[in-house]
């Protein structure tokens, strides 16, 4: 003898709707995580930032030395030109 099918109750229907909504949200979260993970290779690490900072500091120091050296040389040339006139 086969059991008669039981009609779903309102609680069953509500629970199935909730489960469907949760499944949709899980799908959306997975898509968002996939997009975020896709961006990770393009982001800088702490080591990358430390290296960039070091290189920038070196470049600024080198530029400052050149500027001061050039100013001293130009000042000397101007002083020598005035002295000769």
Average pLDDT (30-36) is: 96
Token pair in block for residue 58? 């070196």
SS (HEC) of 7-34:
CCCHHHHHHHHHHHHHHHHHHHHHHHHH
More confident residue, 5 or 23: 23
| CB 83, CB 75: distance < 8 Å | no
* The model scores a pTM over 0.75: no
CA atoms within 13 A on the CB side of 8: 8
Token pair in block for residue 14? 């509500």
pLDDT attached to residue 39: 92
pLDDT attached to residue 1: 58
């Amino acid at each position: 003898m086969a059991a008669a099918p039981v009609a779903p109750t309102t609680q069953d229907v509500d629970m199935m709707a909730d489960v469907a909504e949760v499944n949709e949200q899980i799908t959306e979260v997975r898509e968002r995580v996939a997009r975020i993970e896709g961006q990770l290779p393009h982001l800088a690490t702490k080591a990358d930032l430390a290296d960039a900072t070091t290189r920038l500091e070196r470049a600024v120091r080198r530029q400052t030395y050149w500027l001061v050296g050039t100013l001293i040389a130009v000042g000397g040339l101007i002083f020598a030109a005035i002295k000769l006139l």
